[in-house]
């Protein structure tokens, strides 16, 4: 493990996990109010469920001889969502710190795997809808709690996942810079390849970089199927080199359709893996791969094998 550099920036391939929340809800039958996994850290049963979820991914990384970015289960562990679940600021700080400790302990059981401990934070509002809009200064203040907890617990980096408008991403980056914690920003895209805010991915990346002096270590795309955004990667431009990670959905459905779905759409793992191979041809710096909603270990195995047997 490292606390000063991000080895995935130089390695051929690092993996992540898949769709944590959808796996726990649909595959493991665990009730997650507000789609929040972090309360599982508070019980022995919950921690056992999280361990059972993460272990196959670490085993995959060890088997394939690749590194792993190990995410904390804290996408919803911010002030607004936490309050809905009975967590005040002090309790949220504590559970975010324990989340880093939890994934560190898991990683230590796989000493052969190069591991990066990643503190995950999500948007203040809904991941699919631009709401509770903040300016950069307000967003920095809002997300400072999680960023500070991750830094204090010794995380190697943080990732702002499912960002859907630019100013919130800028705010998170500014908070991370204050904490001296490397940050990745992962934008979600609609079926037209644009952010829910309407911004193009290229413009979003350029605006965040301009506002933060390029502080963001790299960018990712998550919670969208490759068919939604592959075409926006065809135009060229230096911004493509800033996109180093993909965590795609298994389903080709839109965000609105996924919100209404009562059954899990796992898509086709082999087809998704082939999509990742095509994406790598369009993204010269693609180094971090995993899954998002609807994906599980079968998808990530297929993706990893597709990219390590080329």
Contacts of 42 (CB under 8 A, 6+ apart): 95
Q: Domain segments of the chain: what residues?
A: 7-308
Question: Is 60 exceeded by the pLDDT of residue 188?
Answer: yes
Residue 274 has phi, psi (to 5 degrees) of -65, -35
CATH 3.40.50.300 fits 7-308, yes or no: no
Q: pLDDT tens digits for 243-301? A: 999 999 998 888 778 777 778 889 999 999 999 999 999 998 999 999 999 999 999 99
Q: Report pLDDT digits (tens) over 208-221.
A: 999 999 999 999 99
pTM for this structure? 0.96
Q: How many helices (H) and strands (E) does the chain have?
A: 11, 8
Please give the share of the chain, as a percent, with pLDDT higher than 90.
Answer: 89
pLDDT at 2 over 50: no
Helix axes 166-179, 136-152, angle to 10 degrees: 40
pLDDT by residue (tens digit) across 115-164? Answer: 999 999 999 998 888 987 999 999 999 999 999 999 999 999 999 999 99
**pLDDT at residue number 257:** 81
DSSP 38: G
Residue 299 structure tokens: 């998808």
d(CA 137, CA 17): 31
């Amino acid at each position: 493990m490292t606390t000063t550099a991000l080895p995935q920036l130089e390695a051929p391939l690092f993996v992540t996990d898949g769709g944590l929340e959808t796996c726990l809800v649909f595959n493991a039958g665990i009730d997650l109010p507000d789609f929040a996994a972090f309360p599982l850290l508070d019980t022995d049963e919950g921690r056992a469920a999280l361990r059972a979820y993460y272990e196959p991914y670490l085993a995959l990384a060890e088997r394939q001889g690749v590194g792993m970015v190990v995410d904390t289960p804290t996408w919803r562990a911010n002030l607004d969502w936490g309050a809905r679940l009975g967590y005040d600021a002090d309790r949220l700080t504590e559970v975010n710190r324990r989340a880093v400790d939890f994934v560190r302990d898991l990683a230590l059981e796989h000493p052969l795997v190069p591991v990066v401990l990643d503190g995950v934070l999500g948007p203040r509002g809904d991941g699919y809808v631009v709401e509770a809009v903040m300016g950069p200064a307000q967003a920095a203040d809002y997300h400072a709690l999680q960023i500070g907890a991750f830094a204090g617990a010794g995380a190697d980096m943080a990732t702002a996942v499912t960002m859907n408008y630019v100013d919130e991403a800028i705010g998170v980056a500014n908070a991370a810079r204050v904490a001296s914690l490397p940050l990745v920003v992962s934008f979600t895209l609609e079926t037209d390849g644009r952010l829910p805010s309407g911004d193009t991915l290229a413009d979003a990346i350029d605006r965040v970089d301009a506002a933060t002096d390029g502080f963001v270590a790299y960018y990712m795309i998550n919670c969208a199927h490759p068919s939604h955004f592959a075409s926006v990667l065809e135009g060229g431009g230096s911004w493509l080199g800033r996109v180093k990670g993909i965590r795609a959905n298994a389903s080709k459905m839109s965000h609105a359709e996924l919100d209404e779905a009562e059954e899990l759409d796992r898509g086709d793992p082999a087809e998704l893996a082939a999509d990742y191979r095509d994406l790598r041809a369009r993204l010269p710096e693609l180094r971090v791969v995993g899954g998002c909603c609807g994906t599980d270990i079968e998808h990530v195995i297929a993706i990893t094998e597709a990219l390590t047997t080329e």
